[in-house]
Amino acid sequence: MPTQRVMVVTAHPDDSEFGAAGTVAKFVRDGCEITYVIVTNGSKGSSDRSMTSERLIRIREEEQRNAARALGVERVQFLGYEDGEVEDTRELRRDVTREIRRWRPDLVICQSPNRSYNLGASHRDHRIVGGAVLDCVYPLARDHLAFPELLPEYEPHKVREIYVMQWENPQLVVDISDVMDVKMKALACHASQFGDFAGLEARVRERAAALGKPKGYAYAEAFDRIEMLR
C-alpha cells in the first residue's frame, strides 16, 4: 500500500525544512497528508539582544506555519516544550505517542538520536526528541496498555516506516532536484533565524548537492530507513 499519511516530528521550528522539506514536498505532490509536530517552542534561537522569548515564540510559530503552507503541509502541532531544555520524560513520550495515535501516519520522519561531531545536526534537543520518537513508534503507540490515560480517545496505531534524518552514510537518498526551489522557499520563511539568507542558501544547496552526488542527483536529502515488521 502506498504511503498516505506522513508525520514529521522535530525539536525546533525550521528543523523539518532543513532536513526533509524536499522529501515532504514530494509526498505532498503524491497526494499525501502531512502533519508536522514541533516539540519545543524555539524560544532560544535569537542573537538579537532586544528579543524576548515571548516574542520569539510567536514569531517562530508564525514562520513555521508559513513554511508549512509553502510546502502544502496540512497541519502543524506545537507541543510547547522549552527550547534547549527538553528531556526524555514520560510526559514527552506520552505527548508524542498521542500525536501518532491521533494522526495515524504510515511514515514518521524524525531526527537522529545519535551524537555526531556535526554539532548543529546533533543538537541535544534533536537527539532527545529523535530517540523519544523512535520509542513512541515502537512500542508505545502500538501497545494499548502503554499510557492507559490516552484511551479511549487515542487508539493504538502501528507506524509502517520511519525515516531518520541522516547526514553521513545514509541508507536512503531522496532525489529532491525538482523541488529544491520549494525547499528554499519554505526555509526562507524562517527569517528570524538567518542574518544572511543568501549565504545560508549557498550552504544548503552545497550540502544537498553533496548528498546527491553519489547517486547522480543534483540535490538530495538523506535518511536512514526503518521498516517496521507487521
Closest by CA position to 129, among listed 18, 65, 223, 40: 40
Note whether 99 binds Zn ion by CB under 5 A: no
Backbone angles phi, psi at 222, to 5 degrees: -135, 145
Residue 105 CB contacts under 8 Å (≥ 6 apart), including other chains = 5, 6, 7, 35, 159
Q: What are phi and psi of 195, to 5 degrees?
A: -75, -40
Residue 12 binds to Zn ion (criterion: CB under 5 A):
yes
**Residue 83 within binding range of Zn ion, rule CB under 5 A:** no
- Near Zn ion by CB under 5 A, which window of 14-22, 47-55, 84-92, 182-190? 14-22
33 forms part of the interface with Zn ion (CB under 5 A): no
15 CB-contact burial (10 Å; exposed 0-12 / middle 13-18 / buried 19+): buried
* Separation between Cα atoms, residue 121 and residue 127, nearest integer Å: 9
Number of residues near Zn ion (by CB under 5 A): 2
Residue 15 or 95 having the CB closest to Zn ion: 15
59 or 140: whose CB is closer to Zn ion?
59
**Min CB(51)–Zn ion separation in Å:** 17
Output 15 or 33, the one with its CB closest to Zn ion.
15
The DSSP code sequence of 57-96 is HHHHHHHHHHHHHHHT--EEEEEEEPTT-----HHHHHHH
Closest CA to 165 of 131, 210, 203, 216: 131
Return the range that interacts with Zn ion (CB under 5 A); candidates 5-13, 25-33, 171-179, 201-209: 5-13
Query: Binding to Zn ion by residue 127, rule CB under 5 A?
Result: no
C-beta of 27: minimal distance to Zn ion in Å? 21
Stretches 8-16, 20-28, 206-214, 218-226: which one binds Zn ion (CB under 5 A)?
8-16
Say if strands 75-81 and 172-175 run parallel, antiparallel, or are unpaired: unpaired
| Shortest distance (Å) from residue 47 CB to Zn ion | 15
User: Does the protein bind Zn ion through residue 15 (CB under 5 A)?
Assistant: yes
Interface residues toward Zn ion, by CB under 5 A = 12, 15
